[in-house]
Amino acid sequence: MIVSVASALLGLLALSLPVGVVLFLLGFGVDWFFSAFPLMRGLGQVVYSASDSFLLIAIPFFVLLGEILVRAGIAERTYKALDAWFSWLPGGLIHANIGTATMFSSTSGSSVATAATVATVAMPQARALGYDQRLFAGAIAAGGTLGIMIPPSINLIVYGFLTESSIPKLFLAGLLPGLAMAVAFMAITALLCRLRPELGGPSRSATWGERVRGLRHLVPLLALFAVVIGSIYAGWATPTESAAIGVAMALAIAAGNRTLTIPVLVAALLGTVKITAMVMFVIVGAYFLNYTLGAAGLGRELTAMLENLGLGPYGTLLVIVALYIVLGFFIETMALMIATIPIVVPIVAGLDFGMAPDDAKIWFGILLIVLVEMALITPPVGLNLYVVHGANPGGRFSDVMIGAVPYVLAMLAMVGVLILFPAIALFLPNL
């Protein structure tokens, strides 16, 4: 059954069907071919229970928060301010790309939205100043992936919802690895541009006066992050309530910059509806598929197969990591998470890694997010690659792919570091 379901999944995705439709079709197929019971009769209850959660209201709020900041032009101000601080480093503007992506990751919660925001602002600068198109575009695509690691993250909310894990703990667990990857991306960029100066464009510098004046554009985003995340850990608000507070602050920031207009609000709301509808359709479809797979015994079959390998906890974990890397080439990231988490996470939580099962779920959640980030910048389905390519008219898709390779290697290194040192993810939650 495992081979049949996996083959059908890849085959349907190859037909370019919407991911949610594919998940429902697979659920119907499992019911028809592998179940002795009429599982279809439980469809209504499954759909209702998949969407009846107060926690899920945080998703449209965080999406709207990011949409307002993007549509109101705050990205461009942030980019210019960071450029003044980072332009002296080898690589110049490329560091501003990564820095801007890191700051927007702390507010938008979406990787694709972060990559699209930075690419729209930065790509014209790359052409004007003569930067290497490959490294420049690859850095934007990689920096955008931080949107699902640094809190607040929509993907971490979905993971917590599916595994019944603490969202505040997941947010804390993602903070250090997210910042560490941002630093690693900048270090790789500086090293490459030091070895090959032609990759980094012309050397530029800003005065201290320009740098200090630019800080006023960074303060609103830092304050927004502090309020949204701080209200959760102070116990003043749930993740859903803090997201609503964040939307109110984003509206105030846009109004203060005099960019809050009716067209901006309409565009932000339409973008929120589209993204939220897509996410919820995938969640409901995956819930139905997982319901049918569980009833048909796929979870037991997969668990037995892994146990029969006799690899031990870390050997089994490496098999799971390899599986995610391969699936990440072909399956959209949110669908990949939702379709596999209910099956894989109980297996990981049951292995002996020398930590409590709840800690194992938190740690594996961060490890999974790094693997999902990698899937966002690896072809043929890496969404961030297409987003950045779309913002570069006349550029070649292969340029973005090649430029992202050094950052993929950094993510692989982070996977190894998290496996060897789980405390990187668990330090803040346990503190």
Query: What DSSP string describes 147-209?
Result: GGTSSS-HHHHHHHHHHT--HHHHHHHHHHHHHHHHHHHHHHHHHHHHH-GGGG-S-----HH
Residue 100 CA to residue 78 CA, distance in Å, equals 6
What's the distance, Cα to Cα, between the start and end of the chain in Å? 43
* Residue 9, domain extent: 2-430
| Residue 3 CB neighbour total at 10 angstroms | 7
Q: How many domains does the chain have?
A: 1
- pTM (2 decimals)? 0.81
Residue 409 CA to residue 415 CA, distance in Å, equals 10
Q: Under a CB-based contact definition with an 8 Å cutoff, are residues 429 and 172 in contact?
A: yes
Per-residue pLDDT of the chain (431 residues; tens, 9 = 90+): 666 766 776 777 667 677 677 778 887 877 777 766 666 777 777 777 767 777 778 888 888 887 887 778 777 778 778 888 887 788 878 888 888 888 877 766 667 777 777 777 777 777 777 788 888 888 888 888 887 888 878 888 889 988 888 888 998 999 999 999 999 999 999 899 888 887 776 667 777 787 888 788 788 888 888 888 888 877 788 888 888 998 899 899 888 888 888 988 998 898 888 878 877 887 787 777 777 777 776 667 776 777 677 778 888 899 899 988 888 887 777 778 877 888 888 888 888 888 888 899 999 999 999 998 888 888 776 778 887 877 776 677 788 888 889 999 999 999 999 999 999 999 988 87
Residue 291 CA to residue 41 CA, distance in Å, equals 12
Residue 118 CA to residue 123 CA, distance in Å, equals 8
Whole-angstrom CA distances from 183 to 87, 146, 164, 211, 413 are 16, 11, 31, 20, 13
pLDDT, one tens digit per residue, over 303-336 is 677 767 777 888 889 989 998 888 888 777 777 8
